[in-house]
Structure 1
Amino acid sequence: MTYKTIVAVLSAAEDAGKVTDHALALARRTGGHVIGIHAEIPVVVTLIAPMEYPDPNAVMDLQERAQRQSREVEQAFRSRCERDDISYEWRLFTGTAGYASAGVIDSARGADIVIAGQFDPDVDGPSREDIEDMLYESGRPVYLISNAPSGPAPIERVLLAWNGSRESARAAFDALPFLTSAREVEIFTVDPPENIMQSRDFCGAELAATLARHGIKTTVTSGASDGHSVADALNRRATEIDAGLIVMGAYSHSRLRQRLFGGVTSAMMRNARVPTLMSR
């Protein structure tokens, strides 16, 4: 298994270069094809009162700004792909649905992996809802590039977050190309449960045996949250072992609950310190 079709979600000029660089680095290792996609959202003007009309010049200025951003994103993508002589294509989608549009989701569903920038409220890039829609609706693993300044260095250590859920199992096997090429993989459980089905001391042991049959060197560890969030525990452990990638399942709890009360998935979308591969 390898990643042969790679979708790069290019939301804004500020993150287009970084996302493209990560997609190309992966494509060079796998001989993959990169699809750059950008969703241009047309300006929607809301009228507050019946007699109020939008200034046509202001509307045209906003439209031109959106089109200019699309051109800048496309140029950043194409120039990097041509420089690296990588197989690629460019897709521009226009519509009010943005990254939840049928065309964008269909492009993602036809890929092996989706690469996107981490949600950053200070950058005119994807909103948290954009990333959530891509992850929730595409059925494909989403590789989120952290806001840390480091580039797409080879990944030698992977932290595999494990809680025994369907989502974490899906993530583990979606990430096999990264796991098999890594020097070390740590299966890490936060606050492992103790029940009649499994002792906390053996949480993750069966997964480790399965991965070992793929030739993957693994260790199994666990840690206590100690009153902190699970996301904090994952970030802290990733720093301790100098992991270059976190692999985790997404939305083990309902999406609505996560939006209302927060959750590990939402927290890691905002605050992951290293690139994170999520699957649902």
Structure 2
Amino acid sequence: MDPKTVVAVIRGEEDLQRVVSAAAGVAGIDKGHIIGIHSEPSPAAYVPAIGMEGIPYDTGIAEANRKRMADLGERFNKACEGELVSCEWRGFESFSGDSAISSITSAFSADIVVVQQADPDNSASGEINLEALIFETGRPVLMIPYTWSAPLKMGRIIIAWNGKKEAARAAFDALPFLKKASSVEILLIDPQENDEHSATMAGAEIAVSLERHGIRAEVVNQPSGGIPVGEAIENRISETGADMLVMGAYSRSRVSEMLFGGVTRTMLNSMMVPVMMSR
């Protein structure tokens, strides 16, 4: 099923146009609808211990935050109008001001979420909780590099495949993109033999499944050469000139907190092309 509802997570002015352009590229597959989400921090009064002076609620800060949110909403609507897609703006106030956290409920009713990678050289871009966005929404998330420029290309797509459920979810969530691609590659790094198939046959079954959807995919078994898997994937993206990476989002557990695993973190930190992740 092609995407109809796209949630666009907007940090601020610096990523608004880029995220809208990417979301429009997704929604444009079948004339979808974009929901823009932004959250501003809600200043709260500080309640001190007995005998100490408190800090009152700052109405000036609250008003400035609301004005910024309203201005962003106007810019969002104009950007969507320029992309010829229907849209709506949802502004929130929250303790953290984290736009990703505020997007979770809206994402439950969406087909896909679009968000930009944080710009390490721009403190205004701010950190958002990508872990929550991916692990708690149950929706595929398309992340675009902060250096990305429109349009959203889908000519050459690589699927990072390891035979696990996260990779399977990502591959099938990406069907609308894969059907538009002229080249699809199923990439395995150091594939392992198991009870069901040899190392050389790893990835063959998912290729057959995709072919039933009209998608011809090439299976590539690539040795890592001793470098981390994330780097090996990046090297393959560079070699092939891929436009997009599709992969599962993996985690490691620390007590009850879900944290990104090594390969996932590598791809997010040094993102070269748009990456669609599923959990």
Do both share a fold (TM > 0.5)?
Answer: yes
Query: What whole-Å deviation, never above 9, does each CA across 1:236-264 have from its counterpart, x for those lacking one?
Result: 11111111110000125447699778512
Q: Tell me what 1:67 maps to.
A: 66
Query: How many angstroms apart in 2 are the aligned matches of 1:221 and 1:253?
Result: 27
Contact 2:9 2:100 in 1 (8 A): no
Structure 1 pair 17/169, CA: closer, same or farther in 2 (3 Å)? same
Query: What whole-Å deviation, never above 9, does each CA across 1:163-215 have from its counterpart, x for those lacking one?
Result: 11100000000000000110010000112112333211111110001111111
Contact 2:100 2:130 in 1 (8 A): no
Q: Look up the SS of the partner of 1:206 in the other structure.
A: helix
Q: Tell me what 1:245 maps to.
A: 244
Q: How does 1:203-218 map to 2 (within 5 A)?
A: 203-218=202-217
Q: Look up the SS of the partner of 1:29 in the other structure.
A: coil
Structure 1 pair 39/260, CA: closer, same or farther in 2 (3 Å)? closer
% identity of equivalent residues: 41
Q: Look up the SS of the partner of 2:159 in the other structure.
A: strand
1:204 counterpart letter in structure 2: G
> In the comparison of the two structures, how many residue pairs are matched?
276
Query: How many angstroms apart in 1 are the aligned matches of 2:256 and 2:186?
Result: 26
Q: Tell me what 1:221 maps to.
A: 220
Gaps of 5+ in 2: none
Q: CA deviation at 1:55?
A: 8.3
Q: Tell me what 1:141 maps to.
A: 140
Structure 1 pair 255/90, CA: closer, same or farther in 2 (3 Å)? farther
**Larger helix fraction of residues:** 1
Q: Tell me what 1:165 maps to.
A: 164
Contact 1:34 1:89 in 2 (8 A): yes
Query: How many angstroms apart in 1 are the aligned matches of 2:172 and 2:216?
Result: 15
Q: Look up the SS of the partner of 1:20 in the other structure.
A: helix
After TM superposition, the score normalised by the length of structure 2 is 0.88
Gaps of 5+ in 1: none
Q: Tell me what 1:83 maps to.
A: 82
The RMSD of aligned alpha carbons is: 2.6
Contact 1:144 1:275 in 2 (8 A): yes
Q: Look up the SS of the partner of 1:181 in the other structure.
A: coil
**Larger strand fraction of residues:** 2
Q: How does 1:173-192 map to 2 (within 5 A)?
A: 173-192=172-191
Contact 2:45 2:56 in 1 (8 A): no
Contact 2:33 2:86 in 1 (8 A): yes
Contact 1:14 1:123 in 2 (8 A): no
Q: Tell me what 1:37 maps to.
A: 37
After TM superposition, the score normalised by the length of structure 1 is 0.88
Q: Look up the SS of the partner of 1:17 in the other structure.
A: helix
Contact 1:13 1:72 in 2 (8 A): no
Contact 2:112 2:142 in 1 (8 A): yes
Q: How does 1:238-277 map to 2 (within 5 A)?
A: 238-251=237-250, 253-254=252-253, 262-277=261-276
